[in-house]
Structure 1
């Protein structure tokens, strides 16, 4: 009887399984036969039910078939985000269940190719490269030459999209056409990149091999435009336009075609025709939109063509308000694109493209302010400047703040685990590329990264549902001015654009707005000042040249007339590398550094990455225990002999864990870093180069920037007594990709770090003074200032060692913590003694004179 029951159960299960598999295929094929909004909704309802019933591999495969077809239709109707999610889930399901073992289903053609193209379309280049490389490798293992070539074609299109045309040609040279269609496409792509590289002769030779008359005219137009032959360009473009009806093009291609036409009309100084072409492009992408009105935000979607259209419309708009409205629409679409990206590298790339748009907005508001005097324009301009400052850092800081508020939330905990895993895998990928590991290993890491990215995307709707749509800590002028009032400070914020430097001066009750036209002379003035600190001898060999440049730059940057003793500087662009404390607030002829009117003598200076950062409050460890890392590197070429003295001195003042020489390992740092309120690293660091990210050295290993991103630290203070910890590849809107930024990302609120390389006794002396003052004042902000003043006033230090090269390398980013009462009392007493001494001396001199 038991055997009969088991048999009946087995037969029933098989029949149900076959029915479910068949039901999924029937539902999908019914939808394919009649694709519209109604049948899509029906399919979505059935999909939700099917998903809960899946058990066998055959059912999983049927479900992948459903997801791919649904995703393809969503792509066709412009629902790119939903399409990507569906393709991603289908890909993950196919490989996780090893469905290739039971079927010859073409996952490359049905899923991976359209997914890679969608990533390109939404500017998610990290996932695009990973996806395309993965299916190229898969095609190689399957010996599918057609798909391999398709992969090379799409990879070349990606490189063309980001302007890397030499890379595109190198990729195309690897491809072998499997049919005439591929051959023509390879030709066309090569021609496009050759034109961009100004290799017109070779482009013309290949152009003759094209079969498409439309493409020939388009290429002739592109060459004529590059050679400034506008009439010929217009003629060739119009010839191509007459052939559009004979071709089959996607809506996206047509929209881009009319966008190109608009740009051609602008070159020909016909804004009316340009606007008509742009409206036609919009009509193609938004068929239900009234072209006489600004597009409704709710109709827009993550499509980069919208950004180009709105930016061009803004450029020809004569009404400033309307122009700003168009630019705001571009920012909105840009944010939609960023929402589809999980890696910070992609987000940083998006911010870089937003940069020029931000400058346009700020410039429009500056002109409006000069015209009307209305200070509301300053506030609006500040918002644009702030929105393009350290966006990734502000986002992660806000996420950490939310986790601190809800520390037991499983969703938020899972999110941070995934973010840490993403950075860990990114670091692995960097190491693999440095070591020239084989393609299989690289693709394995890339696949794992894709999986984490998908999991993060899946998690976000749940978090949004629980906490509302997440938004980075927004800039608030009111909040900023309130904090400035508390700190008795003035904030000087810079926006370093392509054509101008904008300066915002904010006090507790006022704002001002200024502009410096950024020409070659101004740019060179800033660069020349930065280069004065390339080595110690430059300043000492010509002190007069230094003092002249330092005073001129002070005037150029309009730092005068600041009454507050405390000054917060939010640098930008090249100004990230300027030691503002070494500027001069008045002219001088002295060669004695102690008497030079450095800005550090007039103001107590702190820096920050953005005003929003300055006002944001993160929970940090209150203890003052130090984790000190001192590898020293004894007997090696770059031995840090003075580092031992630095360690011994700090040990006398502060308690903690001090790891010297062989104890200063990367593993111990990672193990102990989260237990201390102060982290001090006295070691070698590098700003990185084209292929290597910024890094910092331990006795046994190197810690790269992305490894820091994976950490979740809460130190009150990080001191990087190492060279170049504030230097790294400069990204517009994000700042330098330095080790200091890495510690900020990891959770450090206050940092002291260097802008250039100093391996010298002076570093040890500055550090000793810093910690001496920190122990008394309990304020890194005041300790940094006092250590520099103390260094300059120290009679035992030779004049040449008081050059700003030695003491101004270290900059403090963080809060303006007030000194302790004991520290204040000491300074009052000390000041009183000095006053009494001066009075006594004057009386004595008077008696002597009489």
Structure 2
């Protein structure tokens, strides 16, 4: 026991000395030539501990050189550590590698190194000191995830640190962890929670300490975001006062003061002169104290550049932005930078965006467009490092304003020059701004069939994650052990996914896309910004229409009102005031289509954006003159066939892929279990569909189990579902489809080895869901497309019990004779509008326009759904031939 205590003491001493040495390091010129000889000597003697610590203590001129030495050590090790000293030495190596990489500006590699250190510590608990793990692994790892914007992972790490700090009863560590939690929650937009974390930290921190000053600066940041400007200003001033009083040798306090000056500049940006004074204070302090953190210096230069952009002094701005670029991209000539030179760093992203703005002020739009391209390449690489879906969604949403500026620049260039190259730039920016996460998910699903061992392991962990999530939903989420298991699986998944290659943000080829278009198909894509709605149309010959519609916040609000008032809230508003609906529908049509009307006979792949994704465009009217008879209204559905897609890339992905080739499976649950209301139109829907589908498998009520549904998804070309679906604002925590025996959760779709060519969701609101800026509606249809389903028919609102059975009957009947499945759905709607048996009121679009077609219009191959009537025709023909021959013989005999 005494020897063990001595060992632990020595381990602590080693690690603390190394960490302190790194925190106060003054980089030295290395002694060249001696290191390899020394390392060979230790390797020959199999002295692994000495071999590791020699490289840790070896001097280097810069953090980058030191990081290179330590990186070599991790790749040149000749065996795994065995003894306790070797295990600890290896952990020290990983920790120091993470730190030197952070100092050198490579935050992604730094995060990977700290993550490896964390995993190593978890695997060797007997030789790991918790206080050192807290200070030198969890703290920097969580902060790195925060810097990268992956806030859920950061929160996971900081909460582990909080539990550890509580168990150690370390007040300073508690205050520091609350500081980290404040920063993370604030970045996640959870401002009230961030304020509470900060208050807890201020309670336990020493009021004269540098940490107290840091917490005050974080309080200032939260209050500024909460529009509590006076509190923010007083907090940042008090923070600066306290941090100024810290001892001269406290480098951490010096760093926090340096950052507090910059934060004060941000808070006072509405008064540029005061902001400039604070930024200048930070600049003077940096030069006087020789702050060595290059990343923070670069951030200050970027802020000064952004300030001068706001002051419309672009030359001054570029001077500061050049200083920032020299740190972030050493040795690079900005005029020759390529997208491959970019890496995941927020300051680099902000610098490039500010640079584009400066070039625009200088009337140099081509230079601005190149800066935007580099900005978006940086953004793509940053997002690829995120693990949680919410972090990725936030990154996509945050990028929208940047894309709008870039698209506006390219559009203005096109207006001036009419060069088609600028139209292609507009299309590229529009495409890169839309549904990137869905596209990446579709590509990832396609990769799962390659047999890669890492992918197999990811698939196994995803299945475990599905199991744990279902268990948590069933027990109400109260099982703490289950939560730990979920977190562990999520962590392992994150680690493995980081090993997968980053998907390239490829340049969109208009020529290649147009070759993929079937005959008489046209694409129209939209980008809905805050001030402009951009649209581009292309056919087999290329881009043939480009337009910008000036819009305001009121335009967005009017579309939301149109949808909610006339569709979400039921049919009554449309029934009571049909002309008001007609006029509103025509106004929207005129904005979207009047300059370039849809041509009769064409199929249009519409790719709406933002709130447009929630509008049933087929229900718009094409003429301002109001006919009294609703059946005579000039609905857009009468003008052309319409299908929808999230983006060009997702549509392209839906054109390929291995799907089930034949078969139909239908699930019809009229009488529900678990207290759910009965569905009146489901039985009628099945009865009307059955005569027109010859090769179907039918699963009514009790036969419609989760197991049979899962089997159908892997075997049938068409899967039809008519039951309750729960997507948002429901009692259950997770979106799901209600089958007779149990719910099927959307996250279970990820575990499927194969998928249908088409899924028809005639349940209520299956195309509705949470609208994510830049990603579109996160609906049940979206989930099926994410796993690679080429085509989905789904409903934007509650389908009508009387209408849906007849629409589905006509749809499937037409589907057996046409290759264009979207045209089959259009025909079903047109038949409803033409049917004299349908009352005029029921021809209002509320009753027939809910179902929309999304994806590949040619998804079904010939023979997937042969019509039942054809069999009887051929049978009668075959039976008629011998009868005809017999009658002919009788006739001939009579003549004889």
Using structure 2 for the length normalisation, give the TM-score: 0.81
- Greater alpha carbon shift after TM alignment, 115-124 vs 202-211: 202-211
Q: 1:548 to 1:641 in 2, by over 3 A?
A: same
Contact 1:724 1:756 in 2 (8 A): yes
- Greater alpha carbon shift after TM alignment, 705-714 vs 566-575: 705-714
Answering whether residue 537 of structure 2 is matched by residue 501 of structure 1, we say no
Q: Deviations over 1:662-701 (max 9, x none)?
A: 4434454335432222222212223314995544333454
Contact 1:782 1:819 in 2 (8 A): no
Q: 1:558 to 1:186 in 2, by over 3 A?
A: same
Distance of 1:357 and 1:421 partners within structure 2: 38
Contact 1:606 1:781 in 2 (8 A): yes
Partner of 1:168: 194
Partner of 2:727: 687
Distance of 2:722 and 2:160 partners within structure 1: 42
Partner of 1:846: none
From 766, 777, 784, the equivalent of 2:825 is 784
CA-CA distance at 1:334 after TM superposition: 1.1
CA-CA distance at 1:416 after TM superposition: 4.3
Q: Deviations over 1:568-601 (max 9, x none)?
A: 1111111111111111122342232221111111
From 557, 570, 587, the equivalent of 2:624 is 587
Partner of 1:483: 516
Answering whether residue 53 of structure 2 is matched by residue 26 of structure 1, we say yes
SS at 2:643 equivalent: strand
CA-CA distance at 1:781 after TM superposition: 2.1
From 97, 110, 114, the equivalent of 1:70 is 97
- Greater alpha carbon shift after TM alignment, 624-633 vs 108-117: 624-633
Contact 1:80 1:301 in 2 (8 A): no
Q: Deviations over 1:482-508 (max 9, x none)?
A: 233x33112111111122111111122
Distance of 1:705 and 1:443 partners within structure 2: 22
Q: How many residues align?
A: 795
Contact 2:151 2:391 in 1 (8 A): yes
CA-CA distance at 1:63 after TM superposition: 1.7
Distance of 1:76 and 1:609 partners within structure 2: 41
CA-CA distance at 1:753 after TM superposition: 0.2
State how 1:742-761 maps to structure 2 within 5 Å: 742-761=783-802
Partner of 1:836: none
Answering whether residue 852 of structure 2 is matched by residue 811 of structure 1, we say yes
CA-CA distance at 1:224 after TM superposition: 3.9
Partner of 2:715: 675
Distance of 2:668 and 2:100 partners within structure 1: 57
Distance of 1:689 and 1:570 partners within structure 2: 26
CA-CA distance at 1:198 after TM superposition: 2.7
Q: 1:497 to 1:256 in 2, by over 3 A?
A: same
Partner of 2:185: 159
Distance of 1:708 and 1:238 partners within structure 2: 55
Q: Deviations over 1:363-383 (max 9, x none)?
A: 111111111111121122111
State how 1:282-301 maps to structure 2 within 5 Å: 282-289=325-332, 293=335, 295=337, 300-301=342-343
CA-CA distance at 1:509 after TM superposition: 1.4
Distance of 2:356 and 2:777 partners within structure 1: 30
Contact 2:822 2:857 in 1 (8 A): yes
Distance of 2:472 and 2:44 partners within structure 1: 45
CA-CA distance at 1:34 after TM superposition: 7.8
SS at 1:591 equivalent: coil
Distance of 1:160 and 1:500 partners within structure 2: 30
Distance of 2:277 and 2:471 partners within structure 1: 49
From 92, 95, 100, the equivalent of 2:119 is 92
CA-CA distance at 1:16 after TM superposition: 11
Q: Deviations over 1:752-798 (max 9, x none)?
A: 00111235222233223222323444653232112111111222222
Using structure 1 for the length normalisation, give the TM-score: 0.85
Partner of 2:295: 252
CA-CA distance at 1:269 after TM superposition: 3.2
Q: 1:39 to 1:541 in 2, by over 3 A?
A: closer
From 557, 564, 568, the equivalent of 2:592 is 557
CA-CA distance at 1:194 after TM superposition: 1.6
Q: Deviations over 1:788-820 (max 9, x none)?
A: 111112222222112100110100012222896
Partner of 1:271: 314
Distance of 1:803 and 1:678 partners within structure 2: 29
Q: Deviations over 1:430-449 (max 9, x none)?
A: 849x9453666534422321
Answering whether residue 405 of structure 2 is matched by residue 335 of structure 1, we say no
Distance of 1:274 and 1:35 partners within structure 2: 28
CA-CA distance at 1:390 after TM superposition: 1.6
Distance of 1:815 and 1:623 partners within structure 2: 17
CA-CA distance at 1:521 after TM superposition: 4.3
Contact 2:598 2:640 in 1 (8 A): no
- Greater alpha carbon shift after TM alignment, 296-305 vs 67-76: 296-305
Contact 1:259 1:309 in 2 (8 A): yes
Distance of 2:770 and 2:776 partners within structure 1: 8
Contact 1:310 1:326 in 2 (8 A): yes
Distance of 1:528 and 1:647 partners within structure 2: 35
- Greater alpha carbon shift after TM alignment, 701-710 vs 252-261: 701-710
SS at 1:812 equivalent: strand
Distance of 2:230 and 2:384 partners within structure 1: 43
Q: 1:32 to 1:445 in 2, by over 3 A?
A: farther
Distance of 1:732 and 1:47 partners within structure 2: 42
Q: 1:810 to 1:285 in 2, by over 3 A?
A: same
From 181, 190, 193, the equivalent of 2:219 is 190
Contact 1:608 1:814 in 2 (8 A): yes
Q: 1:46 to 1:544 in 2, by over 3 A?
A: closer
Q: 1:304 to 1:756 in 2, by over 3 A?
A: same
- Greater alpha carbon shift after TM alignment, 188-197 vs 797-806: 188-197
Q: 1:152 to 1:259 in 2, by over 3 A?
A: same
Q: 1:503 to 1:603 in 2, by over 3 A?
A: same
Q: 1:439 to 1:244 in 2, by over 3 A?
A: farther
Contact 2:688 2:806 in 1 (8 A): no
Distance of 1:408 and 1:236 partners within structure 2: 57
Contact 2:88 2:127 in 1 (8 A): no
Partner of 1:838: none
CA-CA distance at 1:387 after TM superposition: 1.7
Q: Deviations over 1:533-583 (max 9, x none)?
A: 131111121111222222221111025433342221111111111111111
State how 1:234-633 maps to structure 2 within 5 Å: 234-247=276-289, 248=291, 250-289=293-332, 293=335, 295=337, 300-317=342-359, 318-402=363-447, 407-418=450-461, 427=469, 431=473, 435=476, 437=478, 441-458=482-499, 460=500, 464=501, 470-471=503-504, 475-484=508-517, 486-511=518-543, 512-531=545-564, 532-534=566-568, 535-558=570-593, 560-563=596-599, 564-616=601-653, 617-630=656-669, 632-633=671-672
Please give the root-mean-square deviation of Cα atoms over the aligned residues, in Å. 3.4
Answering whether residue 690 of structure 2 is matched by residue 660 of structure 1, we say no
Distance of 1:643 and 1:537 partners within structure 2: 23
Q: 1:763 to 1:27 in 2, by over 3 A?
A: farther
CA-CA distance at 1:189 after TM superposition: 1.0
Contact 2:770 2:779 in 1 (8 A): yes
